Amino acid sequence: MSEQLSLMVLVVALTTGFITSLVATTHIQRYQPGFFRYFLANILLFNLLILAGLVFRYMQIQLPFAGMGFTLSGLLIVMAALKLAWLCAFVLMNELLPVDIAPQHLAGRLTKMAGIFFLVYSGAALIAWLTGHDVMQQLALIILETVIVGGALITTINLLFIAVKLPKNQRRISVLVFGAYHLGLMGVILVVMFAGWLQPGPQRLAQLLANGSFLILFNLFPLIWMYRFRPLEPVTDTEKFGIFGITPREKEIISLIQEGKTNQEIADSLFISIATVKDHNHNIFKKCGTRNRLELARLFQ
């Protein structure tokens, strides 16, 4: 009976995730295509991780013979890849939420860092399996979980700091709610980790139901957020200026750059030196994550 109940909760959770993904495809893609990709990846990867975790737990409990050691180690490596992919999607989702713009090449840098970490982790896991060092394998898992949860927590806190800079409107409320929810989510994950509920082995009915309920909450919140809190209006330049911390003088320079003015023409218009203009340009490019005038003009077009 307990197994049937926990399975029913899991089915409801996965169904909720599927419905949320469909709604996201309909309602977000038209307004924030950049954010939508990673928002959807965040939902799908997390649910896939839950399924992979269940498979791992079943194999470990039901098939504990020696020949399964390599298979279990391989499944752990696959789960590590899924976790790192989820973290990358989570970071990019939070970067893109406020204005649907992320720093240039952020996705490439994240992918490269995740790839290097994955290779190191995989090597350590395989060595631990070959040498039979369970302590080494546990240490690698602890480091992996710390990187995943720590990275997500830092990203969420950064999103809340960004939300405070936004003008007091619906978008600010939307971002604050999104960040506050995920901050609470990270807190729950930390509690679960410290409580040992993620450790291998048989689970009580309360643990199974709590894990299933947690997944339902994870999948249900985006659905509520899309309908109740998410702004659908196009992002304004004022909001972008607030996000990137653009000063009044930098706003003037951006406006002149959009008009196609050269550095000398900007200096003449604002009665400043060309060296000062170049300093402003450097600061603007750095704040906005752009590399040149063309990217800057596209950002504020």
Q: For residue range 224-239, list pLDDT tens digits in order.
A: 888 888 766 667 777 7
Indicate whether 183 pLDDT > 80. Answer: yes
Both tokens of 276, joined, read: 């000062």
* Rounded Cα gap, residues 220 and 218, in angstroms: 6
* Residue at a domain's end among 193, 228, 263: 228
202 plus 292 within the same structural domain: no
Amino acid at the residue 115: G
The band of 192, judged by pLDDT with boundaries at 50, 70 and 90, is: low
Q: Is 237 a domain residue?
A: no
Indicate whether 68 pLDDT > 60. Answer: no
* Rounded Cα gap, residues 33 and 107, in angstroms: 15
**Averaged pLDDT, 105-115:** 86
CB 25 within 8 A of CB 37: no
Q: What is the predicted pLDDT for the residue at 61?
A: 63
Q: Is 235 a domain residue?
A: no
Q: Range of 217's domain?
A: 2-228
- Provide the 3-class DSSP secondary structure of residue 42: helix
Indicate whether 115 pLDDT > 70. Answer: yes
C-beta atoms surrounding 282 within 10 Å: 10
Indicate whether 201 pLDDT > 50. Answer: no
135 plus 173 within the same structural domain: yes
Where is pLDDT greater, at 243 or 67?
243
* Rounded Cα gap, residues 23 and 224, in angstroms: 11
The band of 2, judged by pLDDT with boundaries at 50, 70 and 90, is: low
| Measured CA angle at 253 (ends 247, 259), to 5 deg | 140
* Rounded Cα gap, residues 44 and 51, in angstroms: 11
